[in-house]
Every structure is written in structure tokens, then in C-alpha cells.
């Protein structure tokens, strides 16, 4: 059994704009005060010229409507901003992750994640804002059920090496940019079909015969050989929605645009999940490691742009 | 304040908010890296559509320092006149891995720090401040503090599907980076990173006092850490640094003051351009305002290579 290769995912790396902390400080002082209820926020990721496997947040995270930068897709999150460093430390991180993970599963079961697939890209932030010292302690997590591993059936293939890849690209280009986060390509060479379908269109009236010609596509923010973390939730949704796909060979296409908006280096993975997932007892993973690769939070020091004394010194 | 709704564009070179939106739509359509942004919802201006508060283009490359361009010496200045050939070549050599040039320009950065003009501009601050961090000790303390937060139990859950990844950039530019604490406003750690590609975000807002567009620039270093004010002034034409380019509060964003090209001369310049076009028998549509605007503000930030595909003919 040692020759079985398992598909591994590139974990998300959080990337926080300083404006995210400026806005948090403003909200804490002017609105939340002593309340530490969670806030829902937005993040974004790009699959154009991706560097690392970033999930970014800035001031706009707190807006009521998401408006993401060009060539980016929205991610859904929550921020749990604690009042004291002690609360931040003492909080049961495993329980919080499980709680967030269950909300994700609910969205998959209810069909919400099918009609709005952006709900698959999830994150949350545990934070403590030391407003006096201008220090922001934070810890990101990207919740994901620990489902059975995927067997990688053949090495990843670049899109440009696929025959007739021009047809794929053409079918994809018909989709509006915001619908390119998760969708399905239906490619049947014999019947000369190559069309892009929304998840709802392809899966709600699931036809096993037709599904043999499906390629499950997603905007892939990873620069690595590995697909981005968000593919895990995508697979979980598909297999939960269509259990007959368990044990079958499935093709996933991670869309990666270059500077010139070409898809040549997009990757295709052919995988199989041998067994079903028992969602009653599933565990969740996804806390981000710190810069030392350890399970721990990070800290952003904002003195230079927040401390009035520092600002005065810099504004000569 | 009174918000104009009648066009005064041809007489005075100013814009109404509606004309700003029309010119913005034209820019977004023709220069596809630009897009509209809503900004911070608590700062929404009612005289502009909610989702079209200001314009933004991100991650614009800036390979060379303006200061280098202007201070290197006569030889470079001559080259500069014939387009940007000389310096583009230098950049390519760097890409080929010739470290000799790196060294040379490193020295140059330090020389500039000793330059008299630079010290005057900095007031009392040490000129070397830009390339060194005086926060090193504090950061080390923080790093130790952070260790006490680490949780061991969470790694016990075995997850065979996590890849171990190391960003190419990190390995190439700053191997020690892995061990350092995130410091969002940290200045560059080594003199040589000054030479790496900086990127800029450019914003165009509507200035309701001057009734013109207003350009804002936010710079980032190779690690995408925000640049300090002093570092950003290196990318501004030295004729304009601290005079035309000032630090002010952005109308749509939270956070500290940002660098902006002061709009007090914009309407005048635009009026002159309109007149020149009309004297030549032509007519200038107000929708072209931002395309022209970007052309004339480029003299202030000549090394920031923003997408700018349209040509505009004066005659």
C-alpha cells in the first residue's frame, strides 16, 4: 500500500493589511466597546499571479457588502475579538474550530453552499487588540472537516498539456469573473460538448452518466504544486451532495492565471476518495501555524502608524 | 459644502461628481487594471454612487528609485532624456543575477543618505534611519513573548493532507524572515531590499473642495510591508516631494495619513490642455479627464509603471 500517493493541500497563509487593524480599533472604540460578540467579515484571494497561497483581509472586511479587488474572489469569515489577553489565551481553540466547522457543514447540508459556493472559502480570526500598546494579537483559522485522504491517481498535469485545452479556456471565458470561483466543466468530446456549468446546474439534477465527463473547477490561489486549501471543502461538498462519486476517479482543475491572463499553468489533479466520511464524528482542522511553523498566534505591531508620538515624529 | 451639478469643465477644468463617475467608467473600461471601490462604508459620500466612491489599481511595479534616477550623475541623466532605456537595462542586468550592480547601487543608497539635502529634509532624524531598524531589541522581546502562546495539543491531530510549503519569495529574498515576528509597519531590514521591486497601489478620489480628481499612492516593499513616508519619497520626483506630494487623510479609508498629489493645480493644468486642444480645432470630452489626468500626474511619480494604455493626442 506504500505506493499510494495522497493529495496534499497548500494551507492558506493569512495576509493582513494594516487598514484591517485601523478599522478594528475604530470599531472597538466607537461601537463594540466592551462587547466581544463575533462580527462577520470578508476576505479575498486571487488566482492571478498567485504568490504563496494567500487569503487577504483589509479595512473592507467589515463592510456589510463584499466588494473584492479585481481578479479576486470573496471568502467568508468571522472575527472574535476578545477584551483581554487572558481571554484570548484561555479560549478553547479546538472547540471554536469545531463550532465554526459545524457551521460550514450546515451550509453544505442546507444547500446554501451549493447556490453560493463562495461559502466554501471560510476563515475566522481570534484576536486581541491591545489599543494602548498598539499591538494586535491574532490567529487565523481556515476550517475544514478532516475527511478521508484523497488518493492522487496520476501526477498533476498542466492545462496546456491537455489536448483541446483551447475549448476548455473558451468555455471558461464565457463565465463572468465572479462565477469562476467554483464551477463545473462538462467535456464530452464524442458529443462535442464543452460547457461551463454552475454547481447548482450540474449537481441538483445529478446524472451519473453525465458526471463521468465532469471536471470540477475552482479558482486556485496556490503558487505551489499543491492545490489550495479551499479545494478540501469543495471535495467535501461534492461527495456529501453526490455520494455516488465516492470511490470514483474525479478530475479537479485549479485555475491559475498568469500576468497576461492565460490559464496555461493551471493544474489538473485526478483523485479518488476511497471511503465515505462519517460526518457525525468528524474532526476539524485549519488553525494557521505561526511564522515558526508552530501552533500559535501572531502579533502585528502598529506603533509606527497608530502611536500619536510616533506619528508626530514621522510627520516632520 | 456646495456640490456642483452643472458642468464647468470647459471653462475652468473642474468636474462635477457625475462627470467624475463618467470619466471613471471610461478609465475602467479602457484600462482594465483600474476598478471602482466602495471604500469604508462609514465614510461613504452621498454625492457618489455607493459602489463607485473611488478608483483603484493595485500592485503596480516600481523597479527603480526616483532619487537614484536624479542623483546618479550626468551620464544617467543624458540616458534618461532618450526615454528610460538606460535604467531599464540596469534592471534587466539585475535580473540576470549580476550582484555587482546590486553592490554599486547599495553604496549609492548609503551615499544619498549622507547627502546634505536628504539630511535637511529629515530634520533632526538620523539619515541612516531609513535603512536600519531601531526596534530590533523590542521585536526580540516580542518574539519571546509569543512563544508562550503556542499550543502543543493542537498538533496531535494527524492531518496527512497538509502540504509543507515555503514561499519562493521568502527563500530568495529573506531567509531569516521565517523566524521574525510580523511587524506590519516595520521598515526594511537590509539596505539591499531597497533595490527589490516595490509595488504601489494608486487611488483616485474625487476632491470635493477642488472639484478635481486626486491621486493617492500607497507603497509596499518586496514582502508587501507598507513603506514608510521617507521610503515613498524616494519614488517621487524630487522637485515634487513634500511640496506637491503631501500626507493627508484619505476620504474613504481608515488609518493613518496617506501620500497624495495635492490637487490645487489640477484644474488649471486641465484648463490649459482643454484650451490647447480647442485652439487646434478639436474638442475634449469630459470622459477623457482621468486618462489625461494620469498623464500629467506621472511627472510626479515617474518610476511607477502603472497601466496606461491609451494615447492622447494634443493636436
From B185, B285, B290, select the one nearest B230 (Cα to Cα): B185
A-B Cβ pairs (cutoff 8 Å, strict): 157
Q: Which of A13, A70, A295 sits opposite B33 (nearest CB)?
A: A70
d(C-alpha B38, C-alpha A63), whole Å:
9
The per-residue pLDDT for B104 is 30
Q: Compute how many other C-beta atoms are within 10 angstroms of the C-beta atom of residue B309.
A: 9
The per-residue pLDDT for B175 is 43
CA B180 to chain CA centroid, Å, is 26
Distance from CA of B195 to the nearest CA of A (A): 20
Fold that domain A151-279 belongs to in CATH = Cytidine Deaminase; domain 2 (3.40.140)
Q: Please give the residue of chain A at the shortest CA–CA distance from B130.
A: A314
The H or E element containing residue A76 is strand A72-82
From B109, B115, B124, select the one nearest B234 (Cα to Cα): B109
Cell of B237: 520626483
SS3 helix, strand, coil % of chain B, rounded to 5?
Answer: 45, 15, 45
Contact assignment for B167 to A302 by CB distance below 8 Å: no
d(C-alpha A173, C-alpha B273), whole Å:
40
In chain B, residues with a C-beta closer than 8 Å to the C-beta of A10 are 163, 165
Q: Which of B122, B163, B228 sits opposite A8 (nearest CB)?
A: B163
List every span in chain A annotated with CATH 3.40.140.100. Answer: 151-279
Q: Please give the residue of chain B at the shortest CA–CA distance from A227.
A: B163
d(C-alpha A82, C-alpha A65), whole Å:
24
Cell of B229: 513616508
Contact B32, B56 (CB under 8 A): no
The per-residue pLDDT for B1 is 58
Torsion of CA A36, A41, A46, A52, to 10 degrees: 10
The per-residue pLDDT for B118 is 29
The H or E element containing residue B177 is none
Q: Which of A67, A285, A300 sits opposite B182 (nearest CB)?
A: A300
Question: Residues 6 or more apart from A218 whose CB is under 8 A from it?
Answer: A181, A182, A183, A227, A228, A230, A231, A234, A252, A253, A254, A255
The H or E element containing residue A20 is helix A18-27
List every span in chain A annotated with CATH 3.40.140.70. Answer: 13-147+281-314
The neighbouring-strand residues paired with A15 are A56
Q: Please give the residue of chain B at the shortest CA–CA distance from A10.
A: B163
The neighbouring-strand residues paired with B199 are B61, B220
Contact assignment for B41 to A224 by CB distance below 8 Å: no
Per-residue tens of pLDDT for chain B, all 315 residues: 566 678 889 889 999 999 999 999 999 998 888 999 999 999 999 999 999 999 999 888 887 787 666 544 333 333 333 333 322 222 333 333 333 333 332 222 223 333 322 222 333 333 333 333 334 334 444 544 688 888 877 766 788 999 988 776 555 444 444 333 334 333 334 444 335 688 899 999 999 999 999 999 999 888 778 888 888 888 888 887 778 888 899 999 998 889 999 999 899 999 999 999 999 998 889 999 999 999 888 888 887 877 555 555 544
Cell of A113: 453552499
Q: Which of A18, A59, A313 sits opposite B184 (nearest CB)?
A: A18
**Segments of chain A with pLDDT less than 70:** 1-2, 314-316
Cell of B224: 508587501
From B188, B93, B173, B85, select the one nearest B133 (Cα to Cα): B188
Among A51, A68, A85, the strongest candidate for a mutation testing the B interface, having the largest count of B CBs within 10 A, is A51
d(C-alpha A15, C-alpha A226), whole Å:
19
Q: Which of B160, B167, B186 sits opposite A149 (nearest CB)?
A: B160
Contact assignment for B159 to A146 by CB distance below 8 Å: yes
Q: Compute how many other C-beta atoms are within 10 angstroms of the C-beta atom of residue B91.
A: 14
Q: Residue B139: how many CA atoms within 13 Å on its side-chain side? A: 18
d(C-alpha A234, C-alpha A228), whole Å:
11
d(C-alpha A35, C-alpha A83), whole Å:
8
Q: Which of B123, B154, B180 sits opposite A316 (nearest CB)?
A: B123
- Active-site residue identified among B31, B62, B106, B264: B264
Residue pLDDT, tens place only, A176-232: 999 999 999 999 989 999 999 999 999 988 889 999 999 999 999 999 999 999 999
Phi, psi of A250 (to 5 degrees): -120, 145
Beta strands in A6-71 (DSSP E): 13-16, 39-46, 54-57
Distance from CA of B281 to the nearest CA of A (A): 39
Among B53, B138, B145, B149, the strongest candidate for a mutation testing the A interface, having the largest count of A CBs within 10 A, is B149
Describe the crossing of helices A230-241 and A93-110 by its angle, rounded to 10 degrees.
50
In chain A, residues with a C-beta closer than 8 Å to the C-beta of B123 are 316
Asked about B106 being catalytic, the answer comes back as no
d(C-alpha B221, C-alpha B187), whole Å:
9
Please classify residue A123 by burial: count the beta carbons closer than 10 Å to its beta carbon, then call 0-12 exposed, 13-18 middle and 19+ buried: buried
Question: Residues 6 or more apart from B263 whose CB is under 8 A from it?
Answer: B207, B210, B212, B213, B214
Q: What is the CATH number of domain B9-63+198-297?
A: 3.30.1460
Distance from CA of B191 to the nearest CA of A (A): 20
Q: Please give the residue of chain B at the shortest CA–CA distance from A308.
A: B256
List, as one string, the DSSP characters of A240-260.
HH-GGGTTS-EEEEEE-B-TT
d(C-alpha A207, C-alpha A48), whole Å:
33
Q: Please give the residue of chain A at the shortest CA–CA distance from B149.
A: A296
Distance from CA of B116 to the nearest CA of A (A): 17
Task: Using DSSP, state whether B169 is helix, strand or coil.
Answer: helix
Contact assignment for A296 to B40 by CB distance below 8 Å: no
Question: Residues 6 or more apart from B194 whose CB is under 8 A from it?
Answer: B65, B106, B109, B131, B188, B231, B234
Task: Using DSSP, state whether B66 is helix, strand or coil.
Answer: helix
Contact B68, B91 (CB under 8 A): no
Secondary structure, 3-state, A155-173: EEEEHHHCCCHHHHHHHHH
Contact B102, B90 (CB under 8 A): no
Distance from CA of A229 to the nearest CA of B (A): 8
Domain edges within chain B: 9-63+198-297, 66-132+161-195
Contact assignment for A51 to B58 by CB distance below 8 Å: no
In chain A, residues with a C-beta closer than 8 Å to the C-beta of B37 are 60, 67
Would residue A243 be called left, alpha or beta, if left means φ above 0 and alpha means ψ between -120 and 50 degrees?
alpha
Contact assignment for B255 to A22 by CB distance below 8 Å: yes
**CA-based Rg of chain A, rounded to a whole angstrom?**
21
The CATH number, out of the four listed (3.30.43.10, 2.130.10.30, 3.40.630.30, 3.40.140.70), of the domain defined by the range A13-147+281-314: 3.40.140.70
Q: Please give the residue of chain A at the shortest CA–CA distance from B33.
A: A70
Instruction: Say which residue the cell 476598478 belongs to.
Output: B35
Amino acid at each position: 500500500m506504500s505506493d499510494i500517493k495522497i493529495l496534499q493541500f497548500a494551507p492558506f497563509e493569512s495576509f493582513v493589511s494594516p487598514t484591517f487593524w485601523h478599522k478594528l480599533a475604530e470599531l472597538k472604540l466607537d461601537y463594540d466597546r466592551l462587547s466581544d460578540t463575533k462580527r462577520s467579515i470578508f476576505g479575498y484571494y486571487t488566482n492571478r499571479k498567485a504568490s504563496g497561497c494567500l487569503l487577504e483581509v483589509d479595512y473592507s472586511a467589515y463592510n456589510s457588502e463584499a466588494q473584492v479587488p479585481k481578479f479576486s474572489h470573496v471568502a467568508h469569515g468571522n472575527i472574535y475579538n476578545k477584551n483581554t489577553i487572558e481571554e484570548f489565551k484561555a479560549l478553547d481553540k479546538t472547540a471554536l474550530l469545531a463550532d465554526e466547522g459545524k457551521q460550514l457543514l450546515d451550509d453544505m447540508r442546507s444547500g446554501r453552499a451549493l447556490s453560493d459556493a463562495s461559502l466554501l472559502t471560510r476563515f475566522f480570526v481570534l484576536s486581541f487588540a491591545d489599543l494602548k500598546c498598539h499591538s494586535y494579537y491574532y490567529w487565523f483559522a481556515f476550517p475544514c472537516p478532516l475527511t478521508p485522504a484523497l488518493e492522487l491517481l496520476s501526477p498533476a498535469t498542466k492545462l496546456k498539456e491537455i489536448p483541446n485545452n483551447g475549448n476548455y479556456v473558451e468555455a471558461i471565458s464565457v463565465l463572468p469573473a465572479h462565477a469562476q470561483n467554483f464551477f463545473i466543466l462538462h467535456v464530452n468530446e464524442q458529443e462535442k460538448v464543452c460547457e461551463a456549468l454552475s454547481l447548482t446546474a450540474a449537481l441538483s439534477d445529478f446524472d451519473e452518466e453525465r458526471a463521468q465527463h465532469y471536471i470540477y473547477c475552482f479558482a486556485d490561489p496556490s503558487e505551489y504544486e499543491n492545490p489550495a486549501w479551499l479545494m478540501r471543502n469543495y471535495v467535501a461538498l461534492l461527495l456529501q451532495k453526490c455520494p455516488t462519486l465516492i470511490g470514483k476517479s474525479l478530475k479537479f482543475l485549479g485555475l491559475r492565471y498568469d500576468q497576461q491572463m492565460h490559464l496555461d499553468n493551471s493544474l489538473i489533479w485526478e483523485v479518488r476518495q476511497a471511503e465515505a466520511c462519517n460526518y457525525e464524528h468528524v474532526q476539524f482542522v485549519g488553525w494557521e501555524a505561526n511564522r515558526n511553523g508552530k501552533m500559535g498566534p501572531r502579533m502585528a505591531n502598529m506603533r509606527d502608524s497608530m502611536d500619536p508620538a510616533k506619528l508626530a515624529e514621522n510627520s516632520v | 459644502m456646495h456640490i456642483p451639478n452643472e458642468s464647468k469643465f470647459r471653462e475652468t477644468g473642474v468636474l462635477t461628481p457625475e462627470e467624475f463617475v463618467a470619466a471613471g467608467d471610461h478609465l475602467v473600461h479602457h484600462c482594465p487594471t483600474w476598478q471602482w471601490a466602495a471604500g469604508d462604508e462609514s465614510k461613504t459620500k452621498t454625492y457618489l454612487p455607493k459602489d463607485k466612491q473611488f478608483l483603484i489599481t493595485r500592485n503596480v511595479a516600481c523597479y527603480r528609485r526616483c532619487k537614484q534616477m536624479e542623483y546618479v550623475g550626468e551620464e544617467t541623466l543624458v540616458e534618461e532624456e532618450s526615454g528610460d532605456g538606460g535604467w531599464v537595462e540596469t534592471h534587466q542586468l539585475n535580473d540576470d543575477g549580476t550582484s555587482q550592480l546590486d553592490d554599486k547601487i547599495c553604496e549609492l543608497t548609503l551615499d544619498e543618505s549622507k547627502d546634505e539635502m536628504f539630511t535637511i529634509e529629515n530634520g533632526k532624524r538620523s539619515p541612516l534611519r531609513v535603512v536600519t531598524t531601531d526596534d530590533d531589541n523590542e521585536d526580540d522581546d516580542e518574539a519571546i513573548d509569543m512563544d508562550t502562546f503556542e499550543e502543543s495539543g493542537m498538533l496531535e491531530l494527524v492531518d496527512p493532507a497538509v502540504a509543507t510549503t515555503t514561499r519562493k519569495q521568502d527563500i530568495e529574498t529573506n531567509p531569516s524572515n521565517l523566524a521574525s515576528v510580523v511587524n506590519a509597519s516595520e521598515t526594511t531590514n537590509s539596505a539591499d531590499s531597497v533595490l527589490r521591486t516595490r509595488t504601489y497601489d494608486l487611488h483616485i478620489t474625487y476632491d470635493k473642495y477642488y472639484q478635481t480628481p486626486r491621486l493617492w499612492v500607497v507603497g509596499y516593499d518586496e514582502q508587501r510591508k507598507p513603506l514608510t513616508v521617507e521610503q515613498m519619497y524616494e519614488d517621487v520626483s524630487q522637485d515634487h516631494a513634500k511640496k506637491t506630494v503631501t500626507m493627508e487623510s484619505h476620504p474613504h479609508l481608515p488609518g493613518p495619513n496617506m501620500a497624495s498629489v495635492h490637487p490645487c493645480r489640477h484644474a488649471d493644468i486641465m484648463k490649459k490642455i482643454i484650451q490647447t486642444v480647442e485652439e487646434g480645432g478639436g474638442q475634449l470630452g469630459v470622459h477623457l479627464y482621468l486618462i489625461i489626468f494620469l498623464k500629467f500626474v506621472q511627472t510626479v511619480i515617474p518610476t511607477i509603471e502603472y497601466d496606461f494604455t491609451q494615447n492622447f493626442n494634443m493636436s
